[in-house]
Structure 1
């Protein structure tokens, strides 16, 4: 990967230099078409020129509400080459959420799927560059991708000068704790993060990846990293077990990224390593994975798993639990290690601090996880007070509760806002979820605090059982009797068919809490 003497390089430099000279090697594959590196470079150059010709300047926000299609990475790379700030939006979000992101960011340009055009017309102006994918005849004031590519065709990327400290990315948090916040990253931050992915995950030009999670989030970063390594990446429009097995088999896929719910569906469908023999790495993260199901996955596929922990403010790579860790855990029967999030990535420092005093905590003691990294976010968009609260003296205060063991492995215990205060005592919902989740009949569980007149909050559990399994409330509470202190035991249980999740597959505890707290002035006990 040639990046010249500048390090970390700006995004235009990083992508222009690394994509150049790979001629007819295959870069991207979908169910409909294949794109070579030469075509990817040429088409992204053309779109970048069209953006610059339309008045896009370094740092201008360019939103992409695009699905998993080959055009999406072409557009993303074009934005980088033009010096713009990429603003990815999951097109499956609600109209309200998409409207909020576009108006909050004051996006200068938007690329979107055809069904979103009417809503986006309501919140963008004629001064915005608007482009729709897959439209034979674009609406008034809109362009098609083909039209923009034709306008910008020149063979070379635009000659833009970009400050490494200028904004290269404008992402939004998942909104599971309230209104999504705009998170701004510098050019050097995003570049360092992509290079860290290459170093930590070991992608190479001989690899073929498969991405079926939204390209607007972690999936897009893994895809871009695979391209920077010189490999091939298959793009799946959405997750489907049969299609995944077919793509892996047909294209000798060596790595893929899955959220835990996707892994569970693979396991429930009976897929084994024999069905996907080329797979060398299964990356997983974005949500907790039950340790018994992880053991089952390792039994089926072997110790080929890599867990990562990150958040929007420190993308993807705060810690990793690599393949060697998974293998060692299986060899030693160490379930404790499988429940960890791994060790800090290179160039990442972690401190566990008391959330009240800020004092650093010793190994084994709980506290808030704080992170220092060259790819930490720059600031929140338009929220200086929240920036000051989260980013202090170069350390990101994650809002996650955790602990480090003596060997430096990180254990994620809860979110600060998920701590239940009942009768003046703190209950970490993850402690209760772990115990209830160990019952063989329980497939999934979420624990929250609900209003209680005497204690402020009471522990409440929502439980999903495995298909064909049943258990009554008294039996499950009895199971927890000698495993939880009395004040930690659920005071009520609710059996449900499924737990609500965000579009990224993360448990949406905010929506669960809203059912119980919406009519309350205070959202904590």
Structure 2
């Protein structure tokens, strides 16, 4: 196939081709390959527990055989409601070996969110933490769940941590009441002990079979299940490896803080690490102190993260005490990366931190700045191999010339099959292979792309288009600002006006008047926030994306109460 010349090709890293060859194997093949080529290579480190690739594959086989015995069928949706842990990896690959469909479920979900996802996916099995079992039990009667498999953090802790764990729960006032052995409630650890590690041939007949129902973040409304096929995910992993061309098989260590139940963590940490036979350094949640200690001790070479993580790390009061020099490369995703954060983290670590872009519907990565070659500040970078992109007029859908601002559309082998049982929404978002991102962006004449903002976040004040990201970048440059989020709020005269929510750095004094003066020196008059609110923290998703919908809902509630 002849590849049409694109402006971004001239800036590709030299070893990265425009087109790639993708293996015609289902996703679990990568795990078998890693265990065959590097059997004693450390696959996972988890709170002192170390697991080789041989051991990991054996545990996956055990769980796959156990699920098979319990009656889990090919094509069945299996919800996995786990934090980053060996269990999360084992459960994920075990379901895929059976030809099942993984439904990644956020352990932070409230009952209403959990019920919606389980009902929508028609999941018949869930694998969850004992800490969330009560929520699962409460919604179970209103779902299709037949069986519940429960695991505990202690199941993969080393001695004596596994022995002390129940005492810690008791000390923290946490009581667990899981009725193992009744009503098809099973203990994950018992199933693994009783099952044999008999190799299982992956029951996937076509790479176009759905591997994952990945629900959209719900930051803009009711979550939908994106159907990601084995080919979608395999492609994105191979694309990742081609872009990270300095990564060496069997030698890298990947810091696993981004949750695996989020598509970003699933691809850039779990699946990529397995493909590379790298060590996954697993942390069940992001804590600044724990993260810094782990980096200094375990020496990760790769650190996929979110801007808020890097913000928290560089602002830690004792950051200078920790050695971050093992980090070679960081991919920042899920939200815009402020330039000041990028520069500060690179200075501290000596590694490269670049911004990328992706969506749940694209497995997720479509763009990343070159890591060791030419990058552009504020840009999401270049489209990955085999990925075509264009900026179109939101109304006419006509492609715009470089510099034009419109909606970003994406075409490539990592684009989803469609939304689960939502044909109408699928047809609205996909046309002739092009996926409508809903993001407003532009491309420069060298093929670097820029995201101005979500189309839904665009502020129109007095007829002017205002992109919140531009205002947020200015606020982040203020020496006393740690985090900032900008939204549009109703205004009787301008239609909308700009409001900024700001989190000051610890120990820094900051006033609304100071912020206003600062913005007046940096922004055109119509872009200046008319309202400021200082906060201790901002509402976020588990991967650090600010939930602007929550801020907008709060403003609406204020307006209705005042009215």
TM-score (norm 1): 0.90
Q: What is the Cα deviation at residue 514 of structure 1? A: 0.5
439-448 or 500-509, which deviates more: 439-448
Q: What is the Cα deviation at residue 460 of structure 1? A: 1.8
Q: 1:469 to 1:379 in 2, by over 3 A?
A: same
Matched, 1:206 2:251: yes
Deviations 1:25-47 (A, max 9, x none): 32111114211111111111121
Deviations 1:271-290 (A, max 9, x none): 35971332222232211222
Identify which of 167, 170, 182 aligns with 2:225. 182
Identify which of 452, 459, 484 aligns with 2:498. 459
Deviations 1:2-38 (A, max 9, x none): xxx9833222444434433533332111114211111
**Structure 1 SS opposite 2:319:** coil
**Structure 2 SS opposite 1:143:** strand
**Structure 2 SS opposite 1:257:** coil
Matched, 1:220 2:266: yes
Structure 2, unaligned runs of 5 or more: 1-20, 156-177
Distance 1:209 1:353 in 2: 37
Distance 2:321 2:403 in 1: 36
Aligned residue in 2 for 1:382: 421
Deviations 1:56-81 (A, max 9, x none): 23321111001122111011111111
- CA RMSD of superposed structures (Å): 2.5
Matched, 1:351 2:371: no
Kept after mapping to 2: 8 A contact 1:307/1:320: yes
6-15 or 306-315, which deviates more: 6-15
Q: What is the Cα deviation at residue 162 of structure 1? A: 2.5
Aligned residue in 2 for 1:59: 75
Distance 2:49 2:475 in 1: 47
Q: What is the Cα deviation at residue 154 of structure 1? A: 4.6
508-517 or 202-211, which deviates more: 202-211
Identify which of 305, 308, 327 aligns with 1:279. 327
Distance 1:245 1:496 in 2: 25
Distance 2:457 2:22 in 1: 43
Q: 1:253 to 1:486 in 2, by over 3 A?
A: closer
Distance 2:507 2:344 in 1: 19
Matched, 1:495 2:545: no
Aligned residue in 2 for 1:19: 35
Kept after mapping to 2: 8 A contact 1:20/1:41: no
Distance 1:276 1:312 in 2: 30
Structure 1, unaligned runs of 5 or more: 330-336
**Structure 1 SS opposite 2:205:** coil
Aligned residue in 2 for 1:79: 95
Q: 1:302 to 1:252 in 2, by over 3 A?
A: closer
**Structure 2 SS opposite 1:156:** coil
Distance 1:167 1:156 in 2: 22
**Structure 2 SS opposite 1:469:** coil
Kept after mapping to 1: 8 A contact 2:22/2:235: no
Q: 1:254 to 1:484 in 2, by over 3 A?
A: closer
**Structure 2 SS opposite 1:500:** coil
Kept after mapping to 1: 8 A contact 2:330/2:351: no
Identify which of 146, 168, 188 aligns with 2:189. 146
Identify which of 445, 455, 470 aligns with 1:406. 445
Kept after mapping to 2: 8 A contact 1:420/1:429: yes
482-491 or 308-317, which deviates more: 482-491
Aligned residue in 2 for 1:332: none
Matched, 1:445 2:484: yes
Kept after mapping to 2: 8 A contact 1:308/1:316: no
Q: 1:517 to 1:148 in 2, by over 3 A?
A: same
Matched, 1:39 2:78: no
Matched, 1:248 2:290: no
Distance 2:101 2:289 in 1: 36
Q: 1:399 to 1:157 in 2, by over 3 A?
A: same
**Structure 1 SS opposite 2:89:** helix
Matched, 1:89 2:135: no
Identify which of 280, 283, 288 aligns with 2:336. 288
Q: 1:57 to 1:494 in 2, by over 3 A?
A: same
48-57 or 365-374, which deviates more: 48-57
Aligned residue in 2 for 1:427: 466
Deviations 1:362-421 (A, max 9, x none): 111211111111011111123222211111111111111111111111111100001112
Matched, 1:112 2:154: no
**Structure 2 SS opposite 1:124:** helix
52-61 or 466-475, which deviates more: 466-475
471-480 or 70-79, which deviates more: 471-480
**Structure 1 SS opposite 2:372:** helix
TM-score (norm 2): 0.84
Pick 1 or 2: higher relative contact order, CA cutoff 8 A, min separation 6: 2
Kept after mapping to 2: 8 A contact 1:464/1:498: yes
Kept after mapping to 1: 8 A contact 2:96/2:202: no
Deviations 1:110-141 (A, max 9, x none): 10011222221233368623100038972522
Kept after mapping to 2: 8 A contact 1:182/1:381: yes
Q: What is the Cα deviation at residue 158 of structure 1? A: 4.2
Q: What is the Cα deviation at residue 518 of structure 1? A: 4.7
Kept after mapping to 2: 8 A contact 1:173/1:183: yes
Distance 1:154 1:60 in 2: 22
Q: What is the Cα deviation at residue 177 of structure 1? A: 0.5
Kept after mapping to 2: 8 A contact 1:259/1:285: yes
369-378 or 242-251, which deviates more: 242-251
Q: 1:519 to 1:236 in 2, by over 3 A?
A: closer
**Structure 1 SS opposite 2:303:** strand
Distance 1:302 1:159 in 2: 42
115-124 or 103-112, which deviates more: 115-124
